[in-house]
Structure 1
Amino acid sequence: MPWKASLSVTDCASSKKVVALVTDGQTTWASDSSGQFTVVVPDIFSQYTVFVEGGGYVNKTFTFERASAENKVQSLCLDKARPATPAAQVAAPRITGTKVDTGRVTITWDAFETNQFNVRLTPIGGSFPGEPFEGQRELDGGDRSFTERKVQGGRTYRFSIQRCRKGLIDFHSNCSEWASIDIPVTPEQGYQPWRRWFQLHPETQFDHASQQVAVVSRAPGNIDLFAFGFDNALYTTFWNEAGGGWNPEGWIRLHPETQFDHASQQVAVVSRAPGNIDLFAFGFDNALYTTFWNEAGGGWNPEGWIRLHPETQFDHASQQVAVVSRAPGNIDLFAFGFDNSVWTSWWAEE
Structure 2
Amino acid sequence: MSQWNDWNRRQFVLGGGAALGASALPFGEAQAASYPTRPITLVVATKQGGGVDGVSRTVAPMMEKTLGGATINVVNKTGATGSIGGTFVYNKPNDGHWWFASGGFNRGLRALGLMDHTAWEHWQYYGADTSIMSLSVPPNSPYNSVGDLIKAAKKNPGKLRMSGNGLGGTWHLAASLLMSVTGTDFRFVPYKGGKPATTAALKGEVDVACSGLHEQLDVVKAGRLKHLAIAVSKPRKIQGVSLRAITEDVPELEGKTPVGGGMAMALRRDTPVAILKTVSKAWMDAVGSKEFHEKDMRKPRFPNPVVGADADKRAALWETVAANLLHGVGKAKKSPKDLGLPAIKDFESWWPPKGYKPRM
- The alignment's TM-score, normalised by the length of structure 2, stands at 0.20
The structure where helix makes up a greater share of residues is 2
Name the structure where strand makes up a greater proportion of residues: 1
